[in-house]
Amino acid sequence: MITIKGKGVVEGVAFGKLSFFQKMQQQVERHKVQDTSAELKRFEEAKKQAMEQLQILYQKALSEVGEENAMIFEIHQMMLEDLDYCESITNIVCSQQVNAEYAVAKTADNFSAMFSSMDDPYLQARAADVKDISEKLIHILMGNTEQSYSFTEPCIIAADDLAPSETVQLDKTKVLAFVTRKGSSNSHTAILARTMNIPAIIGVGDQLKPDFEGKDIIVDGETGNVYINPDTATFDTMRLKKMELDRENSLLAELKGQPSITLDGQTIHLYANIGSVTDTVAALNYDAEGIGLFRSEFLYLENQDYPTEEEQFQAYRTVAENMAGKKVIIRTLDIGADKNIDYFQLPKEDNPAMGYRAIRICLTRPELFHTQLRALYRASAFGKIAIMFPMITSVEEVKQIKEIAAQVRNELKEAGVPFDPSVELGIMIETPAAAVISDQLAKEVDFFSVGTNDLTQYTLAIDRQNPKLDRFYQPHHPAILRLIRMAADNAHKNGIWIGICGELGADLDMTETFLAMGIDELSVSPSSVLKLRQKIRQTDVSKVIPKG
């Protein structure tokens, strides 16, 4: 038996034969052309065909993994239309009088190298996206037949890496798991794998050898271990682990419809985080009691221009109606930092995480904020909507927000447009400043929601997207827990409720501590809801000694 180790990005255990995914080799040659106009026409036609193929992929991903995860194929379409990308190809064809295939390949190399050299892990991951769309263009230009994504029997897929377009096209009835030499946990492929719930391990490097083709293997997505030709003892151990995981999932399903209440009678609201309208399906399927965080910025990220009031209204209304009277907390636009949009024309910043982002953009672009608030209030007539504001650092910001919200309500009232005048207004506690002055902020709003990802980043002065700092990123740090407890105490002293919507909310090691703090609501990814409900129902808060 041989054991190799990588990084697990999707939990689960899979047994099967290893099959290497062979990408179609495309040897691009450089040759002179006499008619550059004809060559550019070939490029434009190939680009049009690629756009059509990407739209088909988008629709397939939309139905299988939801709008948020399908968005990568819209991003790929945008990249195909990117002016710099297209101009580079055009310039190489015309200035060097070369074939379009070579110009695309050369541009792909240049852009990929540029992204790979950047410090931001998210931008580094975009290097693979440039390669993906460029290979598609070259594939079309060379007139190659379509890549096969089917397999004759169920197997575990091995590859150097898998592009998002390849992952979504795999016949999932035949894919038991996948193992890649490269890849990052920030890549779209990893995100898609999680949503598709296929056990996955990345970053095994050169340990994954070609002569493992056809071997019997076991993948443990929890530990990141891959067992080649497992011995009897390992096989039996992993078989029992898989049986236990299957049993746990069956038991979790029995918790649907059960209250989220502790052994000593403490009730907590258990909500879901979503990024798109279609994600409400997963929230309902996992029996979330409401939506604790609807990331409205995805309405902006998936558009080529600012979404109109009507477009936003329809999205918010649909979510409210789908949740059928359950609370839906919608966070206002949180653009900036790692989420940038070209048409916003945001200035380049040395430290964007601490720069022009979120509520700072809304308060300095009041027409943008005004439009979103009108859409939100209009949608409140169709369900139980609450509005939450991110990146708050002062009481003055909250007072300014409330004034704008009051103006919107007055406008709608005068125009005879129906809305719910009792919509709750809350803020995110995601900066140390907000936690420290939470006694003052609590007098201005109806609720708090703690964004633990940014609160950890700002409290520990750590860029949470920098993999080199993983060992220093400690979300259980006593300072963070003290800030959360301070905010919880101040919320309750002032008669408002407090929730947690960051990743820490799904950390089962912290559930007892949050219950002991008196946290009223936890909002997590839909797939974490039932696991968290189970933990809550097994806890006696009176016997808990809080951390921190």
Q: What is the set of active-site residues?
A: 188, 501
**Is-contact 275 295, C-beta < 8 A?**
yes
- C-alpha closest to that of 386 among 437, 338, 426: 426
- C-alpha closest to that of 98 among 26, 29, 1, 171: 29
DSSP 281: H
Enclosing H/E stretch for 387: strand 384-389
**Is-contact 393 454, C-beta < 8 A?**
no
436-465 burial, b at 16+ Cβ within 10 Å, e below that, comes to bbbeebbebbbbbbbbbebbbbbbbebbbb
Dihedral sign (CA 43, 48, 52, 57): positive
SS3 label, residue 295: strand
Beta-strand ranges (E) seen in 433-520 are: 447-450, 497-500
Residue with tokens 């029996």: 287
SS3 label, residue 20: strand
- Beta strands 200-202 and 7-10 are antiparallel
Residue with tokens 């300095």: 364
Query: CA 297 → CA 183, 307, 314, 362, distances in Å?
Result: 26, 10, 15, 12
